[in-house]
Amino acid sequence: MEHNSLCVCIFPASGLRDVRVAVPVAVRRGARVKLSCEYDLENAQLYSVKWYRGDQEFFRFVPRDEPHTQVFPHPGINVDVSLSGARAVVLSDVQPAITGVYRCEVSADAPLFHTVIREAAMVIVGK
């Protein structure tokens, strides 16, 4: 006697959603500025958060790495590592040369590796 069975399995939805970036529109030269990236991982684990100015990555947070943070050289961008992490990066002594579009890229961990990117422009003003 042969038995065939079908399992309709329902798993809770998990993944990355509600990703929002908060970048000041205008900042005075020499100021300290906080760029925020908020997200809801639902049931997923965080793989990484990366920050870019234009197409150049300048900061990365990976919770599984040690240390968790990594800064990449970018002319004029001074990351305050002690104040930066999974949901924000803090830049100190900002100058007009770093005016531009800033992008936050959030990736969930395996098995999904779902990635969401949000961006916003920031202008550095003053003499």
Q: In DSSP terms, which residues pair with 109 in a beta bridge?
A: none
The whole-number pLDDT of residue 18 equals 82
Residue 8 domain-assigned? Answer: no
Please state the domain count of the chain. 1
Per DSSP (E only), the strands in 23-111 are 26-28, 33-40, 46-53, 56-61, 69-71, 88-91, 100-108
Tell me the per-residue pLDDT of 15-31, one tens digit each, with 9 for 90 and over: 677 889 999 999 999 99
Q: Residue 115 is part of a domain; what is its CATH number?
A: 2.60.40.10
Q: What is the mean pLDDT of each run of 10 residues along the chain (127 residues)?
A: 40 65 96 96 91 98 96 97 97 97 94 90 93
Q: Quickly count helices (H) and strands (E) in the chain.
A: 0, 9
Return the SS3 of 81.
helix
The whole-number pLDDT of residue 15 equals 67
Domain that holds residue 106: 17-125
Residue 116 domain-assigned? Answer: yes
Question: DSSP state, 97?
Answer: G
Length, in residues, of the chain: 127
pTM to 2 decimal places: 0.86
CB 33 within 8 A of CB 27: yes
Tell me the per-residue pLDDT of 105-119, one tens digit each, with 9 for 90 and over: 999 988 878 999 999
The whole-number pLDDT of residue 103 equals 97
The whole-number pLDDT of residue 113 equals 83
